[in-house]
Structure 1
């Protein structure tokens, strides 16, 4: 940094500090802090490894709910972006998830590259590299058990990686597909070791079984290092080192497209306006939506329509429950509690008592430990003049929560 730049930085810092003091005269507070720092010692790596963990916004420790988990390579860089995307898209497009950012600021090339090289582009290369197998051992035998023991996660896992991280993510897909269900691969460095991983993929993916797994893969706009404006068709025909990075990306995607019998849900996207350093932001947004396409709600217009019968409501909800269980591999509620509950009250307000009842029943079925679900059913019965059943359900709400408001309601209903 030269003296002019330094003076400018100092001047701007002084201006900002004076402006802040003038506005609040208090210590600056951040609007948002993302990711709680944690760490574990790895025998495989012979070092401590830091991780950053972000729990869902609606997480409540006393509810004992577990969530799918996203592992983000280079987590100190990309976890905030993943969290931002989740803040906008979770619920309707992606499930609520625990986000685990893995720090790779030290020994990044060692851990994320997939085979050993001693030279690169004709020159000697002495930096430690090619230890992806050992880093995989750390993830499988140490990190995943640590996260599962200490945080509310299930075994449904997504892996996100950029550049060398993307190379590692594809290495995991090819050689250790049991570890993750989803892969979000951003501008991966598949040129590594003269496309060695592509050669390995050709030998494996044709006979692999990727049913239920999803991969989103992206390519940035700098496809030729010395010239702009080349089309992807021209890039594929080029044989120089200047296009090896982008050609490798395209070559890997073609290997997958030629082996659709393995049932991998695969989407590839080109971002012509983005650089290697900017492509992560749109890729994380598009990628999470892509790999969780099956999660997105169907028949929502029919579910919301006042003309839909109670039987049809029941079928829509149970279809979604079955679909989610098929993909996750375990049972999960098909809709958030508030949505089922809200639909019950809306139906009751419109005098559609059968629809109201089925929504309240579904809420209790999928959220059996919710006092509010039982209290809502008590509202239904009270509305229909059935105090006996209203007392029965509000009593259950009181047994679950012990809240005085439910006890007082029981007493009032008994008097009535």
Structure 2
């Protein structure tokens, strides 16, 4: 029990230390990048956060999933904050791209053109540019991000209100573009709920295998009035139009039961349209990656004193093969975690310690850390000859004074 508690503490500290290291350099926005779009015929501001680990010489992935966020001026920092808090323990580290859509929102984010909406025609006369904006993202923005930053193919699309409307439209009509979709209180009332029509038939396609959609629904009424969802969907006033449309869309998908789409919707009785984004981003990210956090089964394998090196490696291979399959790119155990676990088990479970350090060298053969750990291991076993061999390998890679001193000390023993 003591070993298990120590192990869990070590894993928590590892994740916490990574998040603290990131928090020192969350993001420096300065002037946003400006990208000219031939499709939109205008410049567009974007903000990009790359995980701090990308600047490290060791212990980081080669590429990162990407989250694209509409209304970047409002929601970019919220998404960054949530991901920085949850990664790398509960969600992957990710690149975040915020897209400026504060001007011409009705033009850019509505998928169909209408003559009138909510009793007025003036504000919707330029509506229906959503497909063109999607083309801008697919043909210009995403290729630019892929060519400029260390991106993986795994992508998430986040939008609020009209942005959420475009997120849902993209899922329905262009499902191949993103893996995950978070629609925050989306305006699905648009155009007489056009996206709800035939949604069941479209989402039954196998195209939606391994696709996920999270929808949040706010309470449109004042906080001291009605909160019960069943009562609200029976209300026929303009105040509840958006909620009723969202509920119809969500229950249509949920009750169809034929779609391979991974779907969840949640009603937030104490949040309004303006307060719902942050909690939706958090809950949405947790919904998308329930399989990412290290499982109790793997923790049991690690802490079991009878676990063999072969069983240990098999358990790690199983976990990281699963992560690689889910994310669509190669995911490896964190080097620092392997080295820390190798060090932690060195005195009371030498065979297990050796297994972790062998994995550290296998996954990161060009880094000095694993060889240094292996040298420490052999020294702890009073095998000075092999301790020197691995100390020489660590020094040959790093050339550091610390490794040189350690090598000289071992040779003098």
**Normalising to structure 2: TM-score of the pair?**
0.86
Runs of 4+ in 1 over 6 A off after TM superposition: none
Secondary structure of the 1:95 match is coil
Over 3 Å counting, the alpha-carbon distance change for 1:230 and 1:92 in structure 2 is closer
Q: Tell me the secondary structure at the aligned position of residue 53 of structure 2.
A: coil
Q: Distance in 2 between matches of 1:382 and 1:260?
A: 60
Other-structure match for 1:205: 203
Structure 1 residue 361 corresponds to structure 2 residue 358: yes
Following superposition, the deviation at residue 97 of structure 1 comes to: 0.9
Residues 117 and 359 (structure 1), Cα distance of their counterparts in 2 relative to 1, 3 Å cut = same
Give the distance between the partners of 1:180 and 1:308, measured in 2 at CA: 43
Mapped to 2, the partners of 1:210 and 1:364 lie a distance apart of 39
Q: Does 1:47 align with 2:42?
A: yes
1:391 has 2:388 as partner = yes
Once the two structures are superposed, residues 243-295 of structure 1 have per-residue CA deviations (whole angstroms, 9 ceiling, x without a partner) of 32111111111222134433222121111000100001111111111111121
1:132-151 equivalences in 2 (<5 Å)? 132-151=130-149
In structure 2, the residue matched to 1:372 is 369
1:321-361 Cα distance to aligned partner (Å, 9 max, x none): 1110110112111x3222221111111032x1111011111
Instruction: Please say if residues 72 and 79 of structure 1, whose CA atoms lie closer than 8 Å, have aligned partners that are also in contact.
Output: yes
CA distance in 1 between partners of 2:270 and 2:92 (Å): 29
Structure 2: which 5+ residue stretches go unaligned? 1-23
The SS at the match of 1:273 is: coil
- The count of corresponding residues between Structure 1 and Structure 2 is 384
Matches within 5 A, 1:7-22: none
1:264 is matched with 261
The answer to whether 1:219 aligns with 2:217 is yes
Deviation at 1:120, TM superposition (A): 1.2
1:296-337 deviation digits (Å, cap 9, x = unpaired): 21025415525351344323312211110110112111x322
Q: Does 1:59 align with 2:61?
A: no
Distance 1:388 1:263, change over 3 A: farther
Report 1:11-410 matches (<5 A): 34-35=28-29, 37-60=32-55, 62-63=57-58, 65-125=62-122, 126-222=124-220, 228-229=225-226, 231-299=228-296, 301-303=299-301, 305=303, 307-310=305-308, 311-333=310-332, 335-350=333-348, 352-410=349-407
State how far apart, in whole Å, the 2-side matches of 1:329 and 1:295 are.
13
Paired residue secondary structure (1:288): helix
In 1, the alpha carbon distance for the partners of 2:336 and 2:57 equals 18
SS of aligned partner of 1:165: helix
SS in 2 for 1:338: helix
Unpaired runs of 5+ residues, structure 1, are: 1-29
Identify if the C-alpha distance between structure 1 residues 282 and 130 changes in structure 2 by more than 3 Å, giving closer, same or farther. same
Query: Higher RCO, 1 or 2 (CA under 8 Å, sep at least 6)?
Result: 2
Partner secondary structure for residue 35 of structure 2: strand
Distance (Å, rounded) in 2 between the aligned partners of 1:144 and 1:87: 22
* CA distance in structure 1 between the partners assigned to 2:362 and 2:210 by the alignment: 27
Aligned to 2:13: none
Give 1:142 deviation, angstroms: 0.8
Alpha-carbon separation, structure 2, partners of 1:336 and 1:213: 26
Q: Are residues 344 and 32 of structure 1, via their aligned partners in 2, closer, same or farther at CA, if it must alter by over 3 Å? A: closer
Q: How many angstroms apart in 1 are the aligned matches of 2:316 and 2:370?
A: 16
Aligned residues of 1:184 and 1:215 also touching (Cα < 8 A)? yes
Could you give the per-residue CA deviations for residues 371-404 of structure 1, whole angstroms, max 9, x where no partner exists?
Answer: 1112111211222233343333333323332324
- Name the Cα RMSD after superposition: 2.5
Give TM-score scaled by structure 1 length.
Answer: 0.85
Distance 1:227 1:171, change over 3 A: farther
